[in-house]
């Protein structure tokens, strides 16, 4: 999908506006069980992983089997899809700007073309002609 298309901005903007900054709750199927070394707690062992890659340790004070949720906030999941809460106003601006300009292209644009007599003849170019590659530059 085109990153600046109105559809991309709409699809990205709606989930971002509704789901940003919410803590997630992992189901038992989503939890990862990781065995920590006997001399470290789960928080000590998985702390660097959480700092670098996100996620949440559900039992940081336990030694042994650690429960790890790979997604701590919805922002992490949205970022994996390429959407950001910080870009919501940019996406709205693209939608407001490109929506009307795209509909203008559907009606066709006028172009001038000279015939052999030197007169300019107006030619209506439809969107199909534009997309079909029938225009020479």
Strands (E), the chain: 32-35, 56-57, 65-69, 109-114, 120-125
Q: Where are the domains of the chain?
A: 6-105
Which own/partner contact pairs does 16-22 have at CB distance under 8 Å and 24+ positions apart?
A: 16/78, 16/83, 16/84, 16/85, 16/87, 16/88, 16/91, 17/88, 19/74, 19/78, 20/74, 20/75, 20/78, 20/85, 21/73, 21/74, 21/75, 21/85, 22/73, 22/74
Express each pLDDT in 2-12 by its tens digit: 556 667 767 76
Full-model pTM: 0.55
More confident residue, 136 or 28: 28
Tens-place pLDDT, residues 33-66: 999 999 999 999 999 999 998 899 999 999 999 9
CA-based nearest residue to 14, from 103, 102, 91: 91
């Amino acid at each position: 999908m085109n990153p600046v298309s109105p559809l991309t901005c709409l699809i990205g903007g709606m989930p971002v506006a509704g789901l940003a900054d919410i803590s997630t709750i992992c189901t038992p199927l989503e939890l990862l069980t990781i065995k920590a070394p006997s001399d470290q707690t789960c928080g000590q062992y998985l702390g660097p992983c959480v700092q670098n890659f996100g996620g949440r340790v559900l039992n940081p004070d336990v030694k042994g089997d650690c429960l790890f949720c790979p997604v701590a906030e919805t922002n992490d999941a949205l970022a994996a899809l390429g959407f950001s809460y910080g870009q919501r106003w940019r996406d709205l601006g693209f939608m407001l700007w490109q929506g009307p300009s795209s509909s203008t292209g559907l009606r066709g644009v006028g172009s001038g073309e000279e015939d052999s007599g030197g007169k300019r003849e107006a030619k209506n170019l439809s969107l199909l002609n534009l997309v079909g590659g029938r225009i020479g530059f």
